[in-house]
Amino acid sequence: MADKNLMKLDKLREKLDKIETAEFPISEAELCDRYEKLYTGAVNDVLREATFMDQALPINILPLKFEMVSCGIAFTVRSNPDPTVGGEMEIRAKMLDDMPCNSCVVWDAGEETEAAHWGEVMTASAIARGARCAVVNGGLRDTRKVLAQNFPVFYRYRSSNGSLGRTKITGYNIPVRIGKVYIKPGDVIFGDIDGVVVIPRAIAYDVLVRAEEINTNEREMRGWVHPGFSAVEMVNNGGYF
């Protein structure tokens, strides 16, 4: 007879482990290009409408340059502190070879505060593979040489410490969690001056269309200010503050 006290984890596995593979009605490149014409605030508002309240990455993950705006398809990397070197170069090379075009490399280094996980060579390698940007919950170095490559990078801190002998990749193209946000490979990552938001793949196209609608409506709302509409009139016409 089955033990009724055994934990039933099927629903949890479905929610946390399953990688979404839904296809978009447009190409991934077009989807990302259209997101890049928006701004994270509008996208976040749409996610709130859909009751997704915790899709913004921690506030200390910011762009290397304020004008950087980028969107890509999540290709995740996870690493942990480790003082050994064996096997690191092999998994790093394999990870780079598996990096797809139009990706946003999402590197989760957990609570690491010393090593740099992204730099000049990683940037050049990502560009060569057609990646669009990187989001690093960890460290950046070679900053001048990264800037020179004009590749959008969002990061937590800078350090001259290299990663070899300090940290190792423990997996890639797997679900990760940064702050309150659960990120799966294939999700849509969008960042600008206000930070980074994660759009679950299953709703990413619908969120895009709705955010474009809001962006158009907001341009109309800004026009209401000059004729002297009162705040109440603006709200009654569907505006918000």
Calculate mean pLDDT across residues 87-106: 97
**What domains does the chain contain, in order, with CATH numbers?**
24-223+231-236 (3.50.30.40)
Percentage of residues in the chain having pLDDT higher than 70: 88
Tokens at residue 115, please? 């090593």
Residue 190 has pLDDT above 80, yes or no: yes
Specify the residue for token string 């921690």: 58
- Phi then psi for residue 109, to 5 deg, are -100, 15
Q: What is the pLDDT of residue 221?
A: 52
CB-CB neighbours of 122 under 10 Å: 26
pLDDT digits (tens, 9 = 90+) for 147-186: 999 999 999 999 999 999 999 999 999 999 999 999 999 9
Residue 11 has pLDDT above 70, yes or no: yes
Q: What is the pLDDT of residue 129?
A: 98
Confidence of residue 3 (pLDDT cuts 50, 70, 90): low
Whether the model clears a pTM of 0.75, i.e. scores above it, the answer is: yes
Residues 6+ apart with CB under 8 A from 14: none
